[in-house]
Structure 1
Amino acid sequence: MTEVLFYHLQNRPLDAALPQLLEKCLERGWRCTVQATSPERVEALEQILWTYDDASFLPHGTDRQPEPARQPILLTADESNPNGAVTRFLIDGAAIADVGAYQRVIHLFDGNDSEAVEPVREAWRRARAEGHEVTYWQQDPNGRWQRR
């Protein structure tokens, strides 16, 4: 079964939390795909990953660039998986039909946005009904993740 994780952003925005989580995935040798809801958001994410930390580099690309299969982190606005990712990040309410195609699926959502919470609740119910291992993570006041 797939591990489905829900990360509730409260004290740090997506722009700060996503690079940190991607770094952890790469440290473990996991290929990742980050799915947004529009090509414009993919472009914005690409800029974030280039500029989030002057001392770090996250190797990444988009599915519109040549050879997306070579990217350890692939940014996309659709459900494709050309880089063979085992970890799928879903942001801004993005969704995939086949959760079971991954070892882990990670939903990142803004807990301060009531419109963002309801689709995530539905994803939680669906993942549990399908028998996936579901966990919920919340930020503490310092922005560290705590399993709840």
Structure 2
Amino acid sequence: MYSPTPLPVARARVTPSSDAEPGGLESSLLQLVHDHHQSSLRLRELTEKKKKEAIRNAARVSDLLVEAVNGGVQEFFVNEKCIELEIRALAATITRFMKQTDQWLAATHAINTAVKEIGDFENWMKTMEFDCKSVVAAIHNIHQE
């Protein structure tokens, strides 16, 4: 993780004015400017170093996030393809069952029609038998008279 490092503090070396030499104030100011410049350079280098480190860390986090999201998305795509294959197989099975059901319905309708025709024939036979008996009875009555 991130651990802050203390920033360097510029320290000026100032000599007391009583011990001042000729040009001592100027050299102190020059030393102060030089120290400030050095600390600014160090601070700039440290800032640049931390900036590069932050960019590397951000890139790593970004890569990890993309990897995590892509892993989930890839899993969803694989699952979606499996589901689509199952749907196609199920649709083919349903179509096959529909054709088979239509065939069964046609066969049952044919059987029902045949049974009705047999029933109609049986009724016709009974009617014919009754009519024949009626004719025989009439002929028998005529013959007995």
In the superposition, the TM-score normalised over structure 2's length comes to 0.18
Q: Which has the higher contact order (CA 8 A, sep 6+)?
A: 1
Larger strand percent? 1
| Rg larger for | 2
Normalised to the residue count of structure 1, the TM-score between the two structures is 0.17
